[in-house]
Amino acid sequence: MELETRWVEHQRAGETMRAYLARPARVDRPLPAILVIQEIWGPDGHIQDVTRRFAAAGYTALAPDLYSRGGRPEVLSEARIEAVKRFLDSVPQSAWHDQSVLQAELQKRPQAEAQQLGETLGKLFGPRDVDGWVSDLKAWVDYLQASPGAAGQPVGSVGYCLGGMLSFALATAEPRLKVAQVYYGAAPAQDRLQHVACPVYGFYGEHDPRITEPVPSVAEAMRALGKTFEPVVYRGAGHAFFNDTRSSYHVDAARAAWARSLGLFAQYLAPAAS
């Protein structure tokens, strides 16, 4: 399918931010919209590819760059993040969550490289402005609702890892959201669940205990509040099983999850009458 793809800009609090937009090129009317929320790596090649896949399915799809408001700092430049990806792919999986292992691996690198890697790792995995990012995402809903490509049409969200957590968080803060999909992302604090304003659907890997183990308690809390939350745990899959550019990719889980995503969006994002 021929797609229209481009980077677009929007402002919040007087600062410019950008997003990657894709939609069918031969459709000249507004379409239902999907916010595609990045992994920790930003809207990289994989997230852009996923955005195009949703566009090819008949949606206006938008992937905000959450690091872009006010200008991306050099420490989070695309080149620096790609270097971190390569580094993490080369070290034991335990380095992701064990600072002693991580530091030992960094010390094996030349000093200048280790310093840059350490700075970017610290920024990526350090404290996060979740509330600020949710406000950015709400501003992108404003953008979609006003844009010719999606004006007056329903909006849903899907997020991966960091973005999965933000998709769930957005469901507590954005009443215009019709459905939120959460791929291996943490749930909001339980006192925030009462504010969930749309159905939430979860996609989790069996071998991702840090994220998956709390899911039953989240489901119980959502049921008690009368909220829709339907999680699926994919057998044999781990964290980031949908990312087909990483060693974590699990083709069977990814295939099933993709079909489920499309079905849910078709259910909840039926085009509004013109």
Q: Is 70 left (phi over 0), alpha (psi -120 to 50) or beta?
A: left
Residue 231: its pLDDT value, please? 98
Cβ pair 57, 13 in contact under 8 A:
no
**pLDDT for 4-59, tens place per residue?**
999 999 999 999 999 999 999 999 999 999 999 999 999 999 999 999 999 999 99
Nearest to 93 by CA among 201, 204, 248, 212: 248
Looking at 3.40.50.1820, 3.40.50.620, 3.30.420.40, 3.40.718.10, the CATH number of the domain 3-70+133-268 comes to 3.40.50.1820
> What value does the mean pLDDT of the chain take?
96
Residue 68 has pLDDT above 60, yes or no: yes
* pTM of the complete model: 0.96
When pLDDT is cut at 50, 70 and 90, the band that residue 175 belongs to is very high
∠ CA(160), CA(264), CA(172), 5° rounding? 60
Nearest to 163 by CA among 16, 14, 267, 19: 19
Of 208, 244, 250, 252, which residue is the catalytic one?
208
Average of per-residue pLDDT across 195-201? 98
For residue 173, with 0-12 CB atoms within 10 Å meaning exposed, 13-18 middle and 19 or more buried, which class applies? middle
Cβ pair 44, 65 in contact under 8 A:
no
Whether 10 sits among the annotated catalytic residues: the reply is: no
pLDDT over 90, % of the chain? 94
Q: How many helices (H) and strands (E) does the chain have?
A: 9, 8
Residue 38: its pLDDT value, please? 98
Residue 208: its pLDDT value, please? 95
Residue 182: its pLDDT value, please? 98
**pLDDT for 212-254, tens place per residue?**
999 999 999 999 999 999 999 999 999 999 999 998 999 999 9
Q: Which amino acid is at 199?
A: P
Average of per-residue pLDDT across 66-73? 97
CA distance 171 to 144: 16
Residue 274 has pLDDT above 80, yes or no: no
Q: Give per-residue burial for 66-97: e unless 16+ CB within 10 Å, then b.
A: bbbbeebeeebeeebbeebeebbeeeeeebee
Residue 273: its pLDDT value, please? 72
Residue 97 has pLDDT above 90, yes or no: no
Report the Cα 19 to chain-centroid distance in Å.
13
Residue 134: its pLDDT value, please? 98
Of 10, 46, 239, 250, which residue is the catalytic one?
239
Average of per-residue pLDDT across 186-193? 96
Domain locations in the chain?
3-70+133-268, 74-125
**pLDDT for 116-166, tens place per residue?**
999 999 999 999 999 999 999 999 999 999 999 999 999 999 999 999 999
Whether 129 sits among the annotated catalytic residues: the reply is: no
Report the Cα 164 to chain-centroid distance in Å.
5
Of 161, 195, 198, 244, which residue is the catalytic one?
161
Q: Please list the residues that pair with 156 across neighbouring strands.
A: 34
pLDDT over 70, % of the chain? 100
DSSP letter assigned to residue 70: T
Nearest to 137 by CA among 224, 38, 233: 38
For residue 39, with 0-12 CB atoms within 10 Å meaning exposed, 13-18 middle and 19 or more buried, which class applies? buried
Residue 93 has pLDDT above 80, yes or no: no
Whether 239 sits among the annotated catalytic residues: the reply is: yes
